[in-house]
Structure 1
Amino acid sequence: MMLVSFTAKGVQHWGTTAPGGVVALSGAFPQWRSLRNVIEAGAIAQILAAAQGRPASHREGSFTYDPPIPDPEKIICVGVNFPDRNAEYKDGQDAPPNPSLFIRFPRSFTGHDQPLIRPPESPQLDYEGEIAVVIGKPGRRIPETQAPDHIAALTLCNEGTIRDWVRHAKFNVTQGKNWDRSGAMGPGLVPFTDPAQIADIQLTTRVNGEVRQQDRTSQMLFPIARQIAYISTFTTLAPGDIIVTGTPTGAGARFDPPLWLKPGDVVEVEAEGIGILRNGVADERTGA
């Protein structure tokens, strides 16, 4: 059972997955506007208990998935976090001393089974499959040994990127990483209960059924606990904050010629114990 955010008939709800669809629970708990508020209240177990045995309130096809946390305070992404990905830079550096970080805006993500949007300004829409962790307990200067205690849930991310816009200036990635609906998160939140859930799991990205990216979390240059400790040194991590933990080698930009995403493509990001995030691709509608 996952926690999910979704929209039906123009109204946003949150709840859980159920056979054949989802169970809306937001109406039963009006004190919590979104899953961020549920996490902040430490109420995940309460919500899961409330969902037990309930039939789907919305059947598949009658709703659309939203990013699980629609209103995070922060989305912090970790770059170049697998050895083969680091080797792509050919700078002779085995590994940087600290994680490379950048920020994404909530509007740059869409939900499961919704299309990634390719803008008219560039055809270079690329994929990056990643695992994302959602912070449950706030903290500043969190020791690595205590970092797992601050994780509430796990989800998947396609950290879609407009490649040529990453290189528009001398020092930047913000432009290429924040196009509206260029990436995706979901399908939902898997409650985090054990460090084994992220210690050594396989992460795979497929495009039209072809494996493009594959690695294991045990190979990360900066394990997730280290990421939490490092990030919380300079900013307070708050409930609902999302850390996108890094992508393996194999993005479309690394092929010769590059393999950019185009309408009709289907991208799947899968991780053991978390599920599958699936998205098509569509061109942005800019009007007549």
Structure 2
Amino acid sequence: MHLAGAMRLVRFRASGLPEPRLGLEASPGGDVVDLSAAEPSLPRSMRLFLESGPSGLAAARRALEAGQHRVPRGAVQLLAPIGDPEKVICVGLNYRDHCLEQGAKIPQDPIIFSKFPSAIAGPFDDIVHPEETNEVDWEVELAAVIGKKGRHIEESSALEHVVGFTVANDVSARDWQLRNGRQWLLGKTFDTFCPLGPALVTRDSVADVHNLRIRCSVNGRLMQDSNTSQLIFPLPKIIAWVSRFVTLVPGDILLTGTPAGVGFFRKPPVYLKPGDEVQCEIEELGTIRNRVV
């Protein structure tokens, strides 16, 4: 579905352009409009671009409508839509089917942890398998990106603080995550353990973010297949809860949890190894594909 006013914002590199640039997909998977060329006054950091608020988005929309400064898709290397967020905030145990597969109780409040920004990787970058772990797992997740600063945000207005959505893989080292009574941060934040992309799809592009098919395949085998309707705490609840404790700012990334089908709870468990390819896909948002090395 493509709605009026919708945009798919990207960061990219291209031959002859030495620095990363901001762009827009002319269509999903199509050529990229070089926003940095169309609007040279705009920052080239997505986080700083989002801080410019409605004026920056209006400039991007003008560039998309003009349709100039196109770069062929084959000449583009897509980067993570946001490479320098202030915060990467994650929610654990937030899908009903994921709780059921492990026999866990439904949480009464959102379970919050984080990744460091250094974990971010591009939509088609390699996932580096650390030598410190033998239990690397996959977790496809819907990621929301904050576009408007806020603290103590009400649920009724929470989605107004979201600029858009992207696909994430919350790669997890289970042995570290569960070590010494649960080292969630260490198990979640190895370098390259947060592939993102392929685009930051603006909120007005998505008919219902709480009704999207979400899937993950490993080497072509479907491992996770669910729907964001399975979320225990929907986005407004997550945003209201997190903003009780910290100020959310443009560029902050919220990973909303993963559905059933992770490797850790299979019998026997299945873990990623070098040479594997992981594909994460969310309806209307796109697909990321990462090789384990």
User: What TM-score, normalized by structure 1, do the two folds share?
Assistant: 0.90
Give the structure 1 partner of residue 35 of structure 2: 25
Deviation at 1:216, TM superposition (A): 1.4
Change (3 A) 1:63 1:107: farther
Give the structure 1 partner of residue 171 of structure 2: 160
2:152 to 141, 144, 165: 141
CA RMSD in angstroms comes to 1.9
1:272 to 263, 280, 283: 283
Change (3 A) 1:218 1:224: same
Q: In 2, Cα distance between the equivalents of 1:271 and 1:64? A: 21
SS in 1 for 2:179: coil
1:111-140 CA-partner distances (Å, limit 9, x unpaired): 111111111222322110000000111111
SS in 1 for 2:244: helix
Deviation at 1:31, TM superposition (A): 4.0
1:10-34 CA-partner distances (Å, limit 9, x unpaired): 5211111247542322243344131
Q: In 1, Cα distance between the equivalents of 2:72 and 2:208? A: 29
Give the structure 2 partner of residue 50 of structure 1: 63
1:19-77 CA-partner distances (Å, limit 9, x unpaired): 754232224334413111221112223213213322533542x4432211111111100
- Verify the 8 A CA contact 1:136 1:150 in the aligned structure 2: yes
SS in 2 for 1:193: helix
Does the alignment pair 1:251 with 2:273? Answer: no
1:184 to 188, 195, 200: 195
What aligned pairs does 1:60-139 form with structure 2 within 5 A after superposition?
60=74, 62-91=75-104, 93=105, 95-139=106-150
Deviation at 1:107, TM superposition (A): 1.3
Change (3 A) 1:168 1:107: same
Q: In 2, Cα distance between the equivalents of 1:58 and 1:125? A: 35
- Verify the 8 A CA contact 1:78 1:245 in the aligned structure 2: yes
- Verify the 8 A CA contact 2:83 2:120 in the aligned structure 1: no
Give the structure 1 partner of residue 3 of structure 2: none
- Verify the 8 A CA contact 2:33 2:63 in the aligned structure 1: no
Deviation at 1:89, TM superposition (A): 3.9
Aligned identity (percent) is 39
Q: In 1, Cα distance between the equivalents of 2:85 and 2:40? A: 19
Deviation at 1:203, TM superposition (A): 0.9
Bigger helix fraction: 2
Q: In 2, Cα distance between the equivalents of 1:228 and 1:18? A: 30
- Verify the 8 A CA contact 1:197 1:273 in the aligned structure 2: no
Q: What residue ranges of structure 2 are gaps of 5+ in the alignment?
A: 1-6
- Verify the 8 A CA contact 2:90 2:112 in the aligned structure 1: yes
1:2 to 8, 11, 14: 8
2:24 to 16, 35, 38: 16
- Verify the 8 A CA contact 1:125 1:160 in the aligned structure 2: yes
Aligned residues: 279
Give the structure 1 partner of residue 231 of structure 2: 220
> 2:22 is aligned with what amino acid?
W
Q: What residue ranges of structure 1 are gaps of 5+ in the alignment?
A: 283-288
Give the structure 2 partner of residue 285 of structure 1: none
Q: In 2, Cα distance between the equivalents of 1:252 and 1:233? A: 33
Which deviates further from its counterpart, 263-272 or 157-166?
263-272
Deviation at 1:157, TM superposition (A): 0.1
SS in 1 for 2:208: helix
- Verify the 8 A CA contact 2:206 2:284 in the aligned structure 1: no
> 2:99 is aligned with what amino acid?
N
- Verify the 8 A CA contact 1:147 1:225 in the aligned structure 2: yes
> 1:113 is aligned with what amino acid?
F
User: What TM-score, normalized by structure 2, do the two folds share?
Assistant: 0.89
Does the alignment pair 1:242 with 2:248? Answer: no
Q: In 1, Cα distance between the equivalents of 2:285 and 2:271? A: 26
Q: In 1, Cα distance between the equivalents of 2:148 and 2:160? A: 7
1:207 to 208, 211, 218: 218
1:124-182 CA-partner distances (Å, limit 9, x unpaired): 22110000000111111111111111110110001111111112222420111010012
